[in-house]
Structure formats: C-alpha cells, structure tokens
Structure 1
Amino acid sequence: MLSSALMAVDATILATAVPSIVDDLGDFARYPWLFSTYLLAQAVTVPVFSKLADMYGRKPVILTGIAVFVLGSALATAAPSMTVLIVCRAVQGLGAGAVQPMGQTIAGDIYTVRERARVQGYLASVWGISSVLGPLVGGVFSQYVSWRWIFAVNIPLGLLAAVMVVRNYHESVERRPHRIDVAGSLCLTAGLTMLLLGLLEGGTGWDWGSGQSLICFLGGAAALAVFVLVERRAAEPVVSMHLLSLRLIINAVVIAAAIGGIVQGLTSFVPTYLERAAGATPVVAGIAVAALTIAWPFASANAGRIYVPYGFKASIALGASVVTVGTVLLVLVAHHPSVWLITGVAVVIGAGLGFTAAPNTVAAQSSVGWSERAEVTGLTMFARSAGSAVAVAVYGTISNAVIGGRSGAAPIVDATAAVFWGVLSAAVVLLIAAWALPAHRRAVPVTPAP
C-alpha cells in the first residue's frame, strides 16, 4: 500500500508545477515529454517486470523498482535543463514499471475475488488520498518553495517503502532456469518509442509528411510487427499471445488503455488550463485535479457490492457510462474556464472510474490461475500505461498545433477544448469495450501464493 502511495503521489504531483518548470527551464513545446517519457518507460517495462516476478518472486522486483525510482528522483532534483529533466523522468518510469503492478499482483495472490472487493477499496483509498496530496503538495512547492522539491519528496517516501517491504513481506519461490525474452522487450521498446516520437514531433519539429515522420511511423509499426512474431516463437514471451485470444482479456486491455488516456488528459492539461485561462494558483489548480481522485476511491470501495452479486460487467459498464457523461460535460464547459465547473466534472468522472478500473483488473486476474496472474496484471497495467503515453503524445500534438505561435489565455482555452474532445473519444472507446464484456465470468479459485 505504501508503494502504491508512492506511485500515486508521483503521478499527480508534477502536473501543477509545469508552469513553474517551464518558467525556470524553458522549452514549453517539449513539456509533454515530461509525462510521455515517464509513461513510455513505465509501459514497456511493466510486462517485463511482471514476467520476472513470476520467475523470481515479487519481492526482488518491487525492491529493484523502488531503488531505480528513487535514483531518478534524486537526479531530477538537480536537473539543469528540460532535456536532463526528461531523461530523469525516464529513469523514474523504469522504476515505476516494476513497482506499480506488484501491489495489484500480490493482492491477487493472497485474496479471493470476494475478499478483493474489500482490499481493492483499501488500495483505491490509498491511491485516492495520495493523489489528493500530490497536486496540493506540488502546488505548494512550486508556488512557495521550488518545483525541485517535488522530486525530492519521493526520496524519503521511497526509502520508507523499501524498509516496509523488507520487514513485512516474505515469500518463498521455487528457483528454476528461465529464458528472458530480451528480443521481444527490445522490439516493443523500439516500436513504441518511434511511434511516440512521430506523434510528439510531427507538426512541430517536422512536417507530418516529412521523411522523419515516415521513418517514425513505419519503423514503429514494423518493430511492433516483429514483436508479435518474436512473441509467438519465444519460449517464455514477455506477452503471451494466447492470453490475447481470450475475449475478457482483450476487452480488459482496451478498457485499461482507455482509462489511461482519460486520466492523463485531465491530470496533464487541466492544471495549465486553469492557471493560464482561469487565473488559478498552482494550489487551487491542484485541488481541482484532486477532485478526480476524491470520488474514485469511494466508488471503488463500493464496486464489490455490484460485481460480486451481479458480475464484473455490471460494475464496469455502469462506471463507463458515468465517465462518458462526465467527459461530455467536460467538452461543454471547456470554453468557460472555471475552477468550480472543472472540479464538479472531475468528481463525476472520478466516480465512474472508481466503478470501472479496479473491477477491470480483478476480472482479468480471476480469468486465469496463479501461474499467469502476474502476467495478466502486468498486461492490463501495460495497456493503461501505453494508453496514457499515446494519449499524452496525441494530446500534446493537438495542443501544440492549436496554439501555434499564439500567446495569451485564448489559445490555451482553444487547445484544451480540443484535448477534451480527445478525452471524450477515449471515453467512447471505454464505453464500447465495457458493454462488450462477457455477461458472466466464473472466477478461477485462488491457489496459495508461494
């Protein structure tokens, strides 16, 4: 739970400090890389670390992730330029790729589906409280001290989390030879990196029809095609293709990706929108974003009351419907910058996500046995991170294209309104995938964790 708090704080603490960082380091057009680089590094390492957790145990994986994350945070406190800070965020993302899926995997190992309804509420509450503190702390640091303290605060939190894991989590894992899917990991990393580079730089760094864009998009697509071929032949693939033949898993992956796109559209762009267009301070903008995570844990804690008696689809479809209504409201209020309006809409969207996100993970976990639980958990986490990374890149491209060379509040409003349409599109994808879930799914009995 403490490691989940660490990830939750980091996920939301940076957004409210973007204006301060840009004022100090410059390079406004490159600031979306602060989010997309972190998310890319996290996305491509989640399935790798999840596979390693099945091979060598959860404990060494989560401790390694915490150490790498703390290292990236320490380096970021002294970053002299936007480029260096982006590299530090990539290091943080590598650590997060190990830490984030382990909490969910461990919960899936030691609790039944019925018990997980309550445990997921606890985890969601930890995430919600930490996410509320994140924007507030980020706003306070950037407004009254320095944005560099946003990264420094991760150091004591990370060290405390590591001590708690060492002292309180014990496991015994059978050791046997394994073959790590290095080729698949490299192909996946190369493919996503090239696609993201093309999305972020297209229309700003170079023309969409230029040779650079063609190389990025065609090269990325080719690398992902090779990745699929490699995975089909690998002895222990980083992503098992047979899992993607299960209807429930396919829908869970799409749902997770859509959730990632929705959340990042709000947490990455709303603070700048409110600060530049509505005149909000970083602290107030942080409170508005925090509203998203206030309703989320309350809904998640009660989702079990729906999916235990009525099935996963009932809870997920209900949540997706509420999220869609919330994103429609978001589009309608976009040209009327107001902290109160955005806060109210964020509460609605957060409530919908609470009924959707955790049940989606539990549904995927319950469809397989213990030997594949970490991989399935990692697959949904990977999808959410990848969806977040792609969404931030797309939103950043849209924002830069709409703003162009203009300055002032009006271009920010226009750009954010366009981004909100992208968030609505992600919500529609979420809604379709939710209603396409199998109506009933019998949970696989939980086998004892090693």
Structure 2
Amino acid sequence: MKEALIDKDRGKLDHKETKRPFVLAAVMLAMFMAAVEATIVSTAMPAIVAEIGGFSKYSWIFSSYLLMNSVTILIYGKLADLFGRKPIFAFGIIIFLIGSVLCGLADSMETLIIYRFIQGIGAGAVMPVATTIVGDIYTVEERAKIQGYLSSVWGISAIIGPVLGGLFVEYISWKFVFWVNVPLGILSMAGIGLFLNERIDKKKSSIDYAGAMFMLIAISLLMIVLVEGGVRWSWTSWEVAALLAVACCFFILFIFQENRADDPMMPLSLWKNRSILLANVTSLTTGMMLMGISTFLPTFVQGVMGKSAMVAGFTLTTMSIGWPIASTVAGRIYLKAGFRATSILGGIFLLAGSLVFVMLSADDGPVHAMIGSFLLGVGMGLTSTSFIVSIQSAVDWKERGIATATNMFMRNLGNTVGAALLGGILNSKLQTYLEEHSAGKNLNIDSANNLLNPESDLSGPIKEVLESGLSIALHHVYFVVFLLAILSVLFIFFLPKRELK
C-alpha cells in the first residue's frame, strides 16, 4: 500500500535510479542559497547605500529582484510540468548566478537595480522547482517529517547570512554578498543533474507568453505607482490615475488570456479550490508583511538605534531561527490537528510579532526587535509550511509544479507589492517630515545616506532630525504590517474545516 502511494505521489520519477538523499541535499543547498540571499543582502544594504548613494531608490533594489522573480515563477512552474524539473532548475540557477556576479560589479544604484532584474529572472526557478522536487520524491506523510531537514536550512542561513554579511561589509567588501552565491549554485546544480532521474513524456505544448507579458506589465505599473506615489507624484495626480488605469487594463487582459489559452500560465481552475484560493490570498498578505520587516528592520536598527551592520543582521537572524523551528513543529501539528488549526496558530504569532514592531522605539534596543522578528518567523513557518503541503496534496503530478509556483508567486507578489508600497510609505513620510522640520538645513530623502554611513560625521540637530524622521516613517511602515497581520488572520479563519485526505 505504501509503495503504491509513493508511486502515485512521485509521478514520473525513475524511483530506482533517483537517489533521494543526494537530491534532497542538492535541494537544501539551493534553498540555502535563496535563504542566505534574503538575509545577507538586507544586512548589507545600508553599507551599499552609504557607498554608492541613492537612498531614495532603496526599495527598488528589492522591488526589481522581486518583480522578475514573481512573474517568471509561474513560467518556470509551467515549464517544469511540461519538460521536467531538472533542465528548468539548471537554467534558472545559471541565470541567477550571472545576475549575482554582475550585482557585485555594480558601481551605481541604477546598474545594481538592472542587475537585480537579471538575478530575479533566474531566482524565479530556484525555490518553486526545488520545492516541487521535494513534493515529487516524498509522500505527504514523509513531507511532514522532511520539513525538519528543509527547515534546518533556514536556521543555518539565519546564523551564517548576517555573520557573512557583516564580515563582508566591515572587513572585505559588500560585493561578496552576491558572489558567495556562485559556488553554492554550482554545487546544487551538479547534485540535481547527477542524482535526479525523470521520465518525461514528449508532447506538443505551448507556453503562455502573452499571459506572462500582461502580468509583467500590470505588476510593473502597479509597483511604479506604489514606490513613487506621494514622492514624485501626488496620490491624486493624473499620472497615478493613468498608471493605475493602464495596470487594471492589463490585469483584465491577463484574466482573459488565461481563460482562452490552451496551456495557461496560471490555470484559473486552481483557484476554484477553496483551500488553494485562501492559502494563496493569505500568502499575498504575509508576503507583504515579510518584506516590510526584512527590508527595513536593518535600517531601523542602524539608522535609528545607531547599531552596527552586524547587530542589525542578527535582528533578522531570530526571524530565520523561528521560521525553521515552527516549520518542523508544523509538520507534526497538521498531521494531528489539520492544516487549518496549524494556520490559525501561525496567524496568532504573526499578530504578536507585528504588534511588537508597532510598539518598537529607539530606546528599546535591538533585543526587542529580535523578539518581534522571532515571533513573526514562527508565524511564517507555521502558515507557509501548512499552505505548501496542503496545496501539493490537492493536485496530481501534472499540476503540482504550477500549483506550487502559484502559491510562491502570490507570496513573491506580496513581497513585490510590499517592497514597493512600504518603500513608498517610508519615502513619503520621511520627505514630509524633513520638509516640516529641516528649515535652513537643506535636507532631503537622500540625506539619510549619511545616517547609515558609520564613517559619517553627522551630529547635533541635523542628526536628530534625520533620526526622528526615519523613526516616524518606519513606524508608519510597521503599522501597515500590523494591519496586514489582522487581514491574514481573517483569511485563515475562512479555510475549510474539512481536511484533505
């Protein structure tokens, strides 16, 4: 009975030739690369801004990467279902490594943003295909146990990422936060290439490039509005209204295209499943929350609290520690209590963590930031793990790649919108504060570059104004994160009580 279940669950893998321990190790290495990328770049960003300038473009470093990651993730998920996991995985890593090398060579904020676009194109394949491979080679019961191994990746990266980021920034160069991906990517690609064996049926198929293009344009326009609204343009300006109108048109075209395409990039039939629908919508809101904390917490710790890049990195470390611990526990909870109960518990932790950040002040110190970060990580671990396993259990092999990719797309879309929206709120509130309190001091948003530079000689009234303005702007960001936590919990409560079999 167990063998039959395994054969049905793993689909088109060659079970005798696939060496699961080695494949799992390669998948864990790819996940480690992605996890380190998240923590190490956030830790290094204040130093990058201090060296090459451009604080007003801070959020674009994350938005450009996440934009291409979000759009291509669906294409890669579909391609992995059509042509197999292995070739798509290898292609994505190669593009990701090319982008990583170029990012380390950037000499301005504009070129770094362009290279992050390239890096994001490759990153779209790494996490979804890696996660899909795990869904292929392990049953539902085995996946619950294997989460412990996968979660350890986040725990290890939580320690290594900020440490490496801090060491590179303080003793070598921030460029190495990107170049460290190269050996990791090569090893992971070699492991999958050597030990994963698939039997792929050759069939005629079409790729929904039109749908991908419509979604890319819609998200890009929305992101521009969220980043520049209230800064370059007034929220009530004709520019904002025009961009939003065009974005809506392209989104409608995307829906129309998905309904008529033979092989849609995002099959709308998946959204008819209530569990998948609510898991995806909640992943959108939690993705926005995650970006609000991981992107701007180092800025708060360094710019407002006046701590080093190393300390700022460790405030994010606790999130990455809480996440794997919760993911491991989640694997046991949902086998006994169900996916819905596990998700509700995660939602409670999300609320608690976001509340800590709303109440955070410069006098509290980094320990309070670490506590809030840990609670948020526990919430993310419980919810994201139960969402992925439940979605993969609801579809068969031929849809597992795109179903997994759709959920990750929604989380990445949340990251993208979150980086743009919250970055726009930060810039808008900081600009407003400086305009009201910097009379005769000639300060603007980019003046915050000096606040993040440890070698800057800022002192007196100018420093106080910048610190106060940055603190107030970031608290507006954290309040929005708290509202998103409330919204996430409401969505979770609507998950069906009947569990998947």
Does the alignment reach a TM-score above 0.5?
yes
More divergent stretch after superposition (137-146 vs 236-245): 137-146
Q: Please, what TM-score do these two structures have when normalized by structure 2? A: 0.86
Which secondary structure does the structure 1 equivalent of 2:379 belong to?
helix
Which secondary structure does the structure 2 equivalent of 1:329 belong to?
helix
Runs of 4+ in 1 over 3 A off after TM superposition: 334-337
CA distance in 2, matches of 1:127, 1:348: 15
Given candidates 465, 468, 475, the residue that maps to 1:410 is: 468
Which secondary structure does the structure 1 equivalent of 2:307 belong to?
coil
More divergent stretch after superposition (258-267 vs 402-411): 402-411
Check conservation: 2:305, 2:362, Cα contact below 8 A: no
| 2:138 corresponds to 1:111 | yes
CA distance in 2, matches of 1:335, 1:328: 16
CA distance in 2, matches of 1:85, 1:266: 22
| 2:138 corresponds to 1:122 | no
1:225-236 pair list within 5 angstroms: 225-236=252-263
1:309-320 pair list within 5 angstroms: 309-320=336-347
| 2:419 corresponds to 1:392 | yes
Paired position in structure 1 for 2:167: 140
Paired position in structure 2 for 1:439: 497
| 2:399 corresponds to 1:372 | yes
CA distance in 2, matches of 1:272, 1:139: 14
| 2:500 corresponds to 1:424 | no
- Decide whether aligned partners of structure 1 residues 344 and 381 sit closer, same or farther in structure 2, where only a CA change above 3 A counts: same
More divergent stretch after superposition (156-165 vs 78-87): 156-165
Identity of aligned residues (%): 37
CA distance in 2, matches of 1:255, 1:18: 28
CA distance in 2, matches of 1:139, 1:86: 22
CA distance in 1, matches of 2:159, 2:394: 32
Task: State the Cα distance separating 1:336 from its structure 2 match.
Answer: 4.0
Which secondary structure does the structure 1 equivalent of 2:235 belong to?
coil
CA distance in 1, matches of 2:249, 2:474: 33
Task: State the Cα distance separating 1:203 from its structure 2 match.
Answer: 1.7
| 2:210 corresponds to 1:152 | no
Paired position in structure 1 for 2:233: 206
CA distance in 2, matches of 1:336, 1:380: 39
Task: State the Cα distance separating 1:202 from its structure 2 match.
Answer: 1.4
Task: State the Cα distance separating 1:73 from its structure 2 match.
Answer: 0.6
Task: State the Cα distance separating 1:243 from its structure 2 match.
Answer: 1.0
- Decide whether aligned partners of structure 1 residues 376 and 117 sit closer, same or farther in structure 2, where only a CA change above 3 A counts: same
- Decide whether aligned partners of structure 1 residues 234 and 43 sit closer, same or farther in structure 2, where only a CA change above 3 A counts: same
Paired position in structure 2 for 1:265: 292
More divergent stretch after superposition (106-115 vs 381-390): 106-115
Letter in 2 for 1:94: I
Task: State the Cα distance separating 1:411 from its structure 2 match.
Answer: 1.1
CA distance in 1, matches of 2:221, 2:379: 33
Given candidates 157, 163, 167, the residue that maps to 2:190 is: 163
Which secondary structure does the structure 1 equivalent of 2:105 belong to?
coil
Which secondary structure does the structure 2 equivalent of 1:31 belong to?
helix
* Residues 12-42 of structure 1 deviation map (CA, whole Å, 9 limit, x = unaligned): 1111112211111111100100001111110
Letter in 1 for 2:474: T
Paired position in structure 1 for 2:64: 37
More divergent stretch after superposition (132-141 vs 65-74): 132-141
Structure 1 or 2, whichever has the larger Rg, is: 2
Task: State the Cα distance separating 1:337 from its structure 2 match.
Answer: 4.7
CA distance in 2, matches of 1:419, 1:121: 33
1:148-297 pair list within 5 angstroms: 148-297=175-324
Check conservation: 2:80, 2:88, Cα contact below 8 A: yes
- Number of aligned residue pairs: give it: 443
CA distance in 2, matches of 1:132, 1:430: 28
More divergent stretch after superposition (199-208 vs 227-236): 199-208
CA distance in 2, matches of 1:8, 1:15: 11
Task: State the Cα distance separating 1:128 from its structure 2 match.
Answer: 2.8
More divergent stretch after superposition (88-97 vs 133-142): 133-142
CA distance in 1, matches of 2:392, 2:193: 26
Check conservation: 2:64, 2:120, Cα contact below 8 A: yes
Which secondary structure does the structure 2 equivalent of 1:333 belong to?
coil
Task: State the Cα distance separating 1:131 from its structure 2 match.
Answer: 3.4
More divergent stretch after superposition (318-327 vs 381-390): 318-327
CA distance in 2, matches of 1:314, 1:123: 22
**RMSD of the alignment, in Å?**
1.3
CA distance in 2, matches of 1:336, 1:395: 23
Task: State the Cα distance separating 1:161 from its structure 2 match.
Answer: 1.6
